[in-house]
Amino acid sequence: MTIQSLGVGSGLALDDLVTQLLSAEREPKEKRLNDKEERIEAEISALGQIKSKLSDFKDTVDEMRRDSDINGREPSITHPSEDKEIFTAEAANSALRGTYQVAVSQLASGSRIETADAAFSDSTDRVLTDGLGDSTMTFKINNTGDSFSVTVTQNMTLAQLREAINNNNNNFGVNANIIDTGTAAGGAKLVFSSDVTGTGNDLVIVNDGDRAELDLLTTTDSTETNTNLSPVKSASNAMATIDGIAVESTTNEFENTIQNVSFEASSVSPLDTDGVTRKTSTLDIGYDREGMEKKVRDFVDNYNKIIADIKSLTRYGESDLEDDGALAGDSLLRGISNSLASVVGSSVDNSSLGSLFALGVELNSDGELEIPATDFGLGSGTKRLEAALDDNFDEIAKLFTDEDQGIAVRLYELTKEYTSFSGLISLRERAAKDDKDQLTDERERFDLRMLNYEQILRDKYLNLDQTVARLNQTGSALLAALG
């Protein structure tokens, strides 16, 4: 379309007139579109915000709905000396409460093999010089099946063999080192240390090619019937006593020696004054009271964050100066708030506590949870929480984890219903985004209408401009003719 400049012929301000008429036509409709877009954007943002908070809360109750995550046991250990930690311990949630006296008398160790005195004089001594080509040595632990082989090349030095062993990609925990005794009688010794602990797990080094020179470096021949070197230290078990009962482990970790409890020894217990018996450490398996209380208080805080967000988004401004929330009066968010309150206020028959109230958690008049410190005749919330932690620890877990009525179980299913891809919030988000797309189309149609309207106005006033211009020309000609 050709839009011409108006007013040139007539001298009238027709271009300004068209601009004013277009503005009068555009502004109210454009404001309506802008207001609608602002409402949609605010709705999408608010829905995303509450969905994100609900998803975070869903993760919180997901942990709480599983007994393994909430009903913890906490080992506490008192060692003979505060300066030395003898062992650490962990307990499964199924561990029974109890107190045990534990003493560690021996740590688990691996085996150690040394070459004989004067077998080598220096780290540069060659270990294979017979001219028969390369050979191999195999390092293994018979009981575990661990194994790797090292190629011994012609004229390889003791130091090179050490590096080949230590750098082998399949090395399962064998360390080779050279100790120079500084004497001709001792010479340089190649020392093999194995990390594999436990009685019967001695390192075996096989002379695969039965090469005579490699007998100096191996424990047996290829048939494993002859003995060359013997361990100077055999692999051994860790040893301890629990309430006077002797126990052993192939590693320093004792698993299920006490049912559903494991402890890992790091030091040997000190000797008592008699120089024979070992001092004991006290291992107490109790409830993780502190951890449980934190879980309960975190649950209250996270619940209240959801309620606070819903209140903020659905509020009506108390005056003309205060804006409404992005979803003021929205029924979906009110439904979420009511559903959450219904769950946390419900009873759990399979827990002797019965409800969150017995745990000290109450719904206040603002719809939020609290653990009140004030006593209104039924004991303060703080005292009820302390009593439940002391006397009904396992019942707290049932309150949250019961598969039919558990608070955390039901809250998880509720929040999943709202936040999943096919959930109510997601459906509402997609509807709002569809509205935004439709608004974009509406804007395009409106802009096209305004272009057409502008062309109509310009065509109309162009005719006026031309008519006035012709009249002006006629008038000028008449004046000129009349003198």
Contact 283, 102 (CB under 8 A): yes
Contact 263, 304 (CB under 8 A): no
Pairing of strands 204-207, 220-221: parallel
**What local confidence, expressed as pLDDT, does residue 472 receive?**
74
Residues with pLDDT less than 70, the chain = 1-11, 67-69, 318-322, 376-377, 465, 483
**What local confidence, expressed as pLDDT, does residue 377 receive?**
65
**What local confidence, expressed as pLDDT, does residue 9 receive?**
59
Q: What is the pLDDT of residues 199-216, one digit of tens each?
A: 999 999 999 999 999 999
Strand partners, 194: 174
- At 134, give phi and psi (nearest 5°): -75, 160
**Number of residues that this document lists for the chain:** 483
**What local confidence, expressed as pLDDT, does residue 204 receive?**
98
Q: Which residues contact 123 (CB under 8 A, 6 or more apart)?
A: 157, 158, 159, 162, 178, 180, 188
Q: Could you tell me the two tokens for 270?
A: 């000190």
Contact 176, 162 (CB under 8 A): yes
Which helix H or strand E contains 43, and what residues bound it? helix 14-64
Distance CA 112, CA 281 (A): 31
Q: Which residues contact 390 (CB under 8 A, 6 or more apart)?
A: 289
pTM for the structure as a whole: 0.59
CA distances from 312 to 57, 130, 299, 303 (A): 17, 88, 20, 15
**What local confidence, expressed as pLDDT, does residue 2 receive?**
44
Distance CA 250, CA 31 (A): 79
Per DSSP, 324 falls in state P
Q: Could you tell me the two tokens for 217?
A: 């470096």
Distance CA 236, CA 258 (A): 21
**What local confidence, expressed as pLDDT, does residue 122 receive?**
94
Q: What is the pLDDT of residues 130-179, one digit of tens each?
A: 999 999 999 999 999 999 999 999 999 999 999 999 999 999 999 999 99
**What local confidence, expressed as pLDDT, does residue 465 receive?**
67
Cα angle value 395/401/406 (rounded, 5°): 95
Q: Could you tell me the two tokens for 182?
A: 């500084």
Contact 95, 102 (CB under 8 A): no
Contact 283, 91 (CB under 8 A): no
Which helix H or strand E contains 102, and what residues bound it? strand 98-106
**What local confidence, expressed as pLDDT, does residue 476 receive?**
76
